[in-house]
Structure 1
Amino acid sequence: MTVLRPTVEGLATDVCLPGGAGPFPAVLIRTPYDRARHLAEARGWARRGFAAVVQDVRGRFASPGKWCPYQNEAADGAAAARWIRRQPWSDGRYVAVGASYAAYCALSLALEAHGEDRPSAVIAAVPALGATETAREPSGTEKLLARAGWWAAHGDRRDSDERALERALAADPGLLHHLPLTGLPERLGRNLPSWAGLWRRDDRGRLTSRAAHAGIPLLAVGGHHDHFTEDTVALWRAWAGPSARLLLGPWGHGLVTAPGPDAGPAHRVSLGELYARWVLRALGGDLTPGHHGAVALGGGDLWLPAGTEGAPAAQRLRLLHGSVFTADPDRPVRSDDLTVPEGDPPDRCVLVTRPLPRPLDAVGPVRVRLRATADTPSADWAARLVALAPEGTAEPLAVGILRREERAAGSGEFTIGLGRLARRLTAGTRLRLEIAGHHFPAHARNPHTGGDPMTADRLLASRRAVDPPSVSLSLHVLPSPPSSVDPTKEILR
């Protein structure tokens, strides 16, 4: 194995070459998180016969220039692709690979580069599809905690400080309560000129729309407990290349290194080995056309074919308290606390099902339909579904948040989407549904004034009224216990 350190179009790059004369197919990984952290991965690709090219993106670590997230990746990636194809060790084929922001680099190259600059195939793991997708929910609600953590760690700097926000919150637990939120850089003691501009971006769906014109194979990998699960599935569904594969396990953003509480022994997958085998089949044109893959059933220790979905089934709910409640942004319902206070006035509406009489396999979208009103110009409606186990433990299952401009919303009846579940719920489990006005600090507080939550410096309490009989919780339920499939076979078919 040979390691080279060329400068490619001015950007710092490492190349790991397999033993032998070549030429070889290549794997290109472009990252803002320090190419040195990918050395073991690059060596793994080289052991399997690939030339692994790992590059620091512009303005990060050893690469010069200005770091502008989500702006230069297609052009810089295309330059790296042209360089690869000129090398004597290259056989002309390369695969763009990445996770999180690096997946964005791979996808922007696959979907926005031209002609021969495009890769032969792409692997996108837990893909961050763009600035708007990572910063806002589809209804516009701001994903505050995740973006504050990322910008504190990586924004407007050459290196990274992974624990920057953690330390800042330890020193000032009320850090994210300070207004306006655009002033966060000053409270962090950091120069972050790109922070305010992030919230003005409006390019949602750009890559997903281009996926409809993709002409190469895709392997999309995600986790049920990842921030970008919905984006991963949407990308796979939209992909119009010769084949698209989806692997979705009971994992967090770190995939197999971050198993969720519902992960079992069957959900341990060697991703490196699977990636290499999939690339060989993709480059050889040996994949069955169409959309296939495997989705883990959390709590069930098995895998289902991708696309499996149960039938809609309404779950009967009874009101515990809070049909009328106050959403007070000075005392918001917290995203990191499952405790429901018993004080008065209530801060949320709480409903619960009876204990499940038998195990239930919930596979598919979760939706809450309700009729409710707010007395302020703007209101966020956050719905959180929690599993209450017979032994007394509580576990969050799904969350959805919808922003409504009340004066223009018309009817007080609306639906909140809570994403998708692929989860076996044991007999005796009760489902608790909370309807609140905030989900903080995961999401910014709606100030209820009709103003921008990021620039607001004034907050209003919002009186909410929910019609309990109108609240309908819909899960998609499999009619009978499913059989398991082999995820490797589904990905490589």
Structure 2
Amino acid sequence: MRRTGAAVGRLATDVVLPAGDGPFPAVLIRTPYDRTRHLPEARGWARHGFAAVVQDVRGRFGSAGSAGSARPAGSAGEWRPYAHELTDGTRTSRWIRRQPWSDGRIVAAGASYAAHCALVLALDAPRDARPDAVLVAVPALGAAETAREPSGVERLSARAGWWAAHGDRPDSDGTALAAALAADPGLLTHLPLVTLPERLGRELPSWPALWRERDRGRPVTRAAGATTPLLAVGGLHDHFADDTAALWHAWGGPSARLLTGPWGHGLTAEPGPGAGPAHRVNLGELYVRWARRALAGDLAPGRRGALALGGADRWLPATTEGAPYTPELILLRGSAFTADPGHPVRSDDLAVPREGPVDRCLFATRPLPSTLDVVGPARVRLRGTADTPSADWAARLVALLPDGNAERLAVGIVRRDQPPGVETGFAVELGRLARRLPAGTRLRLEIAGHHFPAHARNPHTGEDPVTAVRLTGSRREIVPAGVRLDLCVLPSPPAPVDPAMEVLR
């Protein structure tokens, strides 16, 4: 195994080659998170016969002009998230194919932002630069997808954390937001949100530009024209879970595989509620086996994959979906409530206040008489009014388990702009569930006007929440009989599958 430093243009690049003379297929990982952190992964690929090429994206780490970098002196350009990945990835792909150790075949791979780098290369590069297969984990499809929900509501805390850690700087500080919050617990409450960089104490010119990105859905639309095999890996507890599944559904290449486990953004390193021993998949080994079959053309055509059933320690085919199920909801309180941005419903707290002003509408089911396997999309349908011209409606579904624990199952949020006081009916999509709920579980449904700090507070005035400097309360009324929770439940215990077999066949 041999490691060499290289410069592709002005981009710092490490190449780890297998033992032997080659030539070899290559795996390309372009990352903003420091290429040296990927060396164990690169060595793993090399041990299995792949040339691993790991590169710092423009303006980051060794590609930022710092002393001692493995490239010619001089700036490689400023770090502008999502701006240069197609251009730089194209140049790198062509460079790989000219190397004597390359057999011309490339797998573009990556997780989170690095998955975005792989995707734009697969979808938008000229044909001579496109990879032969693409492997994406928890993919950040694009700026608009990461910044907003499909309904347009702003994802605040996740984006603030990422930009504080990585935005407009040549290196990273993963503790930046936590340190700032420790110094000022109300950091995310200060207005306007667009001036957050001032409170962080450094320049972040790309922060306001992020919120001007509204063209959501383009990567998924372009996926229909894909020409390469895809392996998409996601976590049911990851904020990009729905985007990962949508990419798989839309993929037009010769084969598409999906692996979705009970994990967070860190996948198997971040197991979530319901994760069991069967869900501890060796992803590195699976990636290698899939890449070999993808490059050899040995994958069956079409969409396949595996979906973990949380709480049951088993896997199901990725296409599994239950029959419609609508549990009876009992109104506990709050058919009329006030969404007060000064005291918003917190996204990081499942407790429901027993005293004080009513800040949400609260429903619950009776205890489940038997175990339910809830698999498929979930949504809330409701009828309600707001006395403000703009209103967010957040729906949170919580499982109150027989052991006394509360587990968040799903959250959805939509923005409604309409004349004050006009009653309308609409749906709040909660995403896809895959969870075994034991007998005795009660479901709690909360409907509120905020889900903060995960999402920015709607000022209720019709102004942009990112630039608004004034917030006002919003009085809400919900028609209890018009509230319905739609779930999908498997009619009988499912037959398990082997996730590796589903991904590799």
Give the TM-score of the pair, scaled to structure 1: 0.99
Secondary structure of the structure 2 residue equivalent to 1:315: coil
Q: Residues 271 and 316 of structure 1: is their aligned pair in 2 closer, same or farther, counting only changes over 3 Å?
A: same
Partner of 1:276: 288
After superposition, residues 68-467 of structure 1 pair within 5 angstroms as 68-407=80-419, 412-467=424-479
Aligned partners of 1:7, 1:75: CA distance in 2, in Å? 15
Aligned partners of 2:33, 2:420: CA distance in 1, in Å? 43
Aligned partners of 2:493, 2:54: CA distance in 1, in Å? 44
Secondary structure of the structure 2 residue equivalent to 1:36: helix
* 1:19 aligned onto 2:19: yes
Secondary structure of the structure 1 residue equivalent to 2:62: coil
Secondary structure of the structure 2 residue equivalent to 1:370: strand
CA shift for structure 1 position 392? 1.8
Secondary structure of the structure 2 residue equivalent to 1:5: strand
Aligned partners of 1:203, 1:252: CA distance in 2, in Å? 26
RMSD: 0.9
Contact 1:130-1:203 within 8 A present in 2 as well: no
Partner of 1:10: 10
Aligned partners of 2:409, 2:478: CA distance in 1, in Å? 22
Deviation per CA, 1:113-148: give whole Å up to 9, x if none. Answer: 011100000001000000000000111100000000
- Structure 2: which amino acid aligns with 1:74? L
Secondary structure of the structure 2 residue equivalent to 1:364: strand
Contact 2:386-2:422 within 8 A present in 1 as well: no
Contact 2:385-2:421 within 8 A present in 1 as well: no
Deviation per CA, 1:435-471: give whole Å up to 9, x if none. Answer: 0000000000000011000011111100000111111
Aligned partners of 1:409, 1:172: CA distance in 2, in Å? 37
Unaligned ranges ≥5, structure 1: none
CA shift for structure 1 position 270? 0.5
Secondary structure of the structure 2 residue equivalent to 1:167: helix
Number of matched residues? 493
- Structure 2: which amino acid aligns with 1:114? P
Aligned partners of 1:30, 1:391: CA distance in 2, in Å? 45
- Structure 2: which amino acid aligns with 1:2? R
Partner of 1:56: 56
- Structure 2: which amino acid aligns with 1:225? H
Contact 2:388-2:421 within 8 A present in 1 as well: no
Aligned partners of 1:388, 1:338: CA distance in 2, in Å? 11
- Structure 1: which amino acid aligns with 2:357? P
Aligned partners of 1:431, 1:326: CA distance in 2, in Å? 23
| Greater Cα shift, 302-311 or 339-348 | 339-348
Q: Taking every aligned residue pair, what percent have the same amino acid on both sides?
A: 71
CA shift for structure 1 position 406? 2.1
CA shift for structure 1 position 75? 1.0
Aligned partners of 1:491, 1:460: CA distance in 2, in Å? 50
CA shift for structure 1 position 405? 0.2
Aligned partners of 2:305, 2:150: CA distance in 1, in Å? 26
CA shift for structure 1 position 393? 1.3
Secondary structure of the structure 2 residue equivalent to 1:59: coil
Partner of 2:503: 491
